[in-house]
């Protein structure tokens, strides 16, 4: 287990998670803002690469489950994107993807709050970023709930999005500094 919250467990991937991971990378509704739908072979390769990166760096996207059920309902994590010069080298991104039946329950926000705590308190990060297609209002709403601030100067055209999916190229960037996170946490703790 990586971390837990009141309702959720963030954990390493297991062999039994392949069906969930396939759905998270192939379902039309889940992948609305992504240009590719992956087949089983591709998702298996992606999952193995993801697990290897986590083992090598400690950063990546982990399985997310509820405390009531051991099946993965999505993934969430702190990752080091390889998007230089669009995203500054060494930046740490927080990201998530959930199955639609688990949208609107606050799971992404709850798990992300725990990972922000891990990133700032346990790993000593000075900033965490997140990015998405501007039309992905569900994800940008989570970023705002986390206290992340829109930083339009850092918006970019994602280099891995093909030209025939031009409507998905532009990404907006949100960021949260450790200082702002601590200030927000202190404000919440005092209830003022």
Average pLDDT for the chain: 95
C-alpha to C-alpha distance for 115 and 119, rounded to whole angstroms: 6
For 92-106, how does the pLDDT look when each residue is reduced to its tens digit (9 = 90+)? 999 999 999 999 999
Q: Do the Cβ atoms of 72 and 23 come closer than 8 Å?
A: no
Domain boundaries, the chain: 3-190
Evaluate if residue 51 carries a pLDDT over 70. yes
Evaluate if residue 83 carries a pLDDT over 90. yes
Mean per-residue pLDDT, 152-165: 95
Evaluate if residue 192 carries a pLDDT over 70. no
The pLDDT assigned to 178 comes to 97
Mean per-residue pLDDT, 79-96: 94
Evaluate if residue 185 carries a pLDDT over 90. no
Rg of the chain's alpha carbons, rounded to an integer? 16
Residue 34, classed as helix, strand or coil, is coil
Q: How many C-alpha atoms does 77 have within 13 Å on its Cβ side?
A: 21
The pLDDT assigned to 162 comes to 94
The pLDDT assigned to 188 comes to 79
Tell me which residue of 101, 106, 35, 39 sits closest to 76, measured CA to CA. Answer: 106
Q: What does CATH list as the number for 3-190? A: 3.40.630.30
Mean per-residue pLDDT, 110-114: 98
For 39-48, how does the pLDDT look when each residue is reduced to its tens digit (9 = 90+)? 999 999 999 9
C-alpha to C-alpha distance for 130 and 112, rounded to whole angstroms: 11
C-alpha to C-alpha distance for 13 and 51, rounded to whole angstroms: 7
The pLDDT assigned to 114 comes to 98
For 163-178, how does the pLDDT look when each residue is reduced to its tens digit (9 = 90+)? 999 999 999 999 999 9
DSSP type of residue 106: S
């Amino acid at each position: 287990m990586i971390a837990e919250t009141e309702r959720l467990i963030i954990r390493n991937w297991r062999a039994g998670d392949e069906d969930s991971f396939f759905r998270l990378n192939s379902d039309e509704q889940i992948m609305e803002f992504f240009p590719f739908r992956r087949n089983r072979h591709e998702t298996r390769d992606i999952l193995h690469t993801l697990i290897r990166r986590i083992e090598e760096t400690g950063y990546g996207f982990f399985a997310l489950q509820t405390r009531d059920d051991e099946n993965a309902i999505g993934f969430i994590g702190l990752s080091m994107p390889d998007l230089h010069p669009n995203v500054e080298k060494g930046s740490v991104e927080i990201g998530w993807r959930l199955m639609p039946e688990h949208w609107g329950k606050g799971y992404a926000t709850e798990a992300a709050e725990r990972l922000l705590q891990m990133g700032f308190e346990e790993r000593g990060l000075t900033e965490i970023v997140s990015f998405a297609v501007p039309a992905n209002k569900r994800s940008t709403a989570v970023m705002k709930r986390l206290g992340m601030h829109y930083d339009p100067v850092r918006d970019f055209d994602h280099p891995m999005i093909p030209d025939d999916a031009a409507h998905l190229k532009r990404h907006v960037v949100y960021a949260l500094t450790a200082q702002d996170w601590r200030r927000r946490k202190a404000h919440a703790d005092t209830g003022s």
